[in-house]
Amino acid sequence: MQFGSRYIEAEEPVLYFENISMALISEKNNTIMARGGWANMPRVIWEDRSEVSFTMSEGVMSAISMSILLSANVTT
C-alpha cells in the first residue's frame, strides 16, 4: 500500500499509540453447528466472528496512524 511517500508492507503495524491509558477490544461471536446423521448431533462446529469494536480512552495516536484511519491524503 502506498501511503504518501512511504510504502507499507503486508502485516506491518500501522497503528501506533504514543500514550494510552485504557483500551478495550470486543467482538460478537456466533457459534454455528452443522447437524445431521443419527440423533441429529452436531458434526462440525465453528465460530463466526463479526463486528469488532475498539474503544480507547485517554490516548494519543501518532499523526500517521490517525491519517490512515481517516483515509486522509498525506503530503511530504
Q: What's the pLDDT score for residue 26? A: 83
Q: What is the pLDDT of residues 6-55, one digit of tens each?
A: 787 888 777 777 777 777 788 888 899 998 888 888 889 898 888 888 77
Domain ranges of the chain: 1-20+60-76, 22-57
Q: What is the pLDDT of residues 53-71, one digit of tens each?
A: 877 777 777 777 777 777 7
pLDDT band at 74 (very low <50, low <70, confident <90, very high): low
pLDDT band at 76 (very low <50, low <70, confident <90, very high): low
Mind spelling out the 3-state secondary structure of 3-67?
A: ECCEECCCCCCCCCEEECCEEEEEEEEEEEEEECCHHHCEEEEEEEEEEEEEEEECCEECHHHHH
Strands 22-35 and 60-61, by their bridges, are unpaired
Distance CA 60, CA 70 (A): 15
